[in-house]
Structure 1
Amino acid sequence: MIVVTGSVTARPETLDEVRRLSLEHVHRSRTEPGCISHAVHVDCEDPLKLVFFEQWADRAALLAHFAVPASRDFVRALHALAAGPTTIDIYDATKVEKL
């Protein structure tokens, strides 16, 4: 499984649009093949910061997601609305059942 985390901090005047675009992106992404989960959350310590958490079946599914034109459009739109750099981290993960 591939796990993706990311974040964007909106400017106060762009927060509503960042939230709208983020939810639209999350809802669309959930319908893509190989998407296990895709969510966006508000950071409790910084209400202008949105944090993304995604799980993908494999690397191929994630690469297909990145190739979707709407995904690329979303990233470009976020950069224009952000207060600073966005983040993204990608992990190759194996689920541990019980310790």
Structure 2
Amino acid sequence: MKYKTLAQVHDEAMQDPAYREAWDAEEELDRLQQTLKSWRVEAGLTSAQVAARMGIKPPTISRMENNATKMSYETLLRYAHACGVSFKLERI
């Protein structure tokens, strides 16, 4: 029996539109989470400092940076402002 590599299995699965859509959505979420953390780090802030600026508890910042799926747009704006960042949403 010939085994497939994980890359081969993934390539085959990417042919399924539903799988590809789920994969793309997960990649977008990963990029958002990386962006959030980079804003904070580039501003030279700790999660506790960002939390204080937002008026929330530090563990909330960790949850936002590691699981942004339930973050509202308003919260995203507050986080960006706390990090000294502005951003623009663009249609793709």
Larger helix percent = 2
**Shared topology, TM-score over 0.5?**
no
Q: TM-score, normalised by structure 2?
A: 0.32
Larger radius of gyration: 2
Greater RCO, CA 8 A, separation 6+: 1
Q: TM-score, normalised by structure 1?
A: 0.31
Larger strand percent = 1
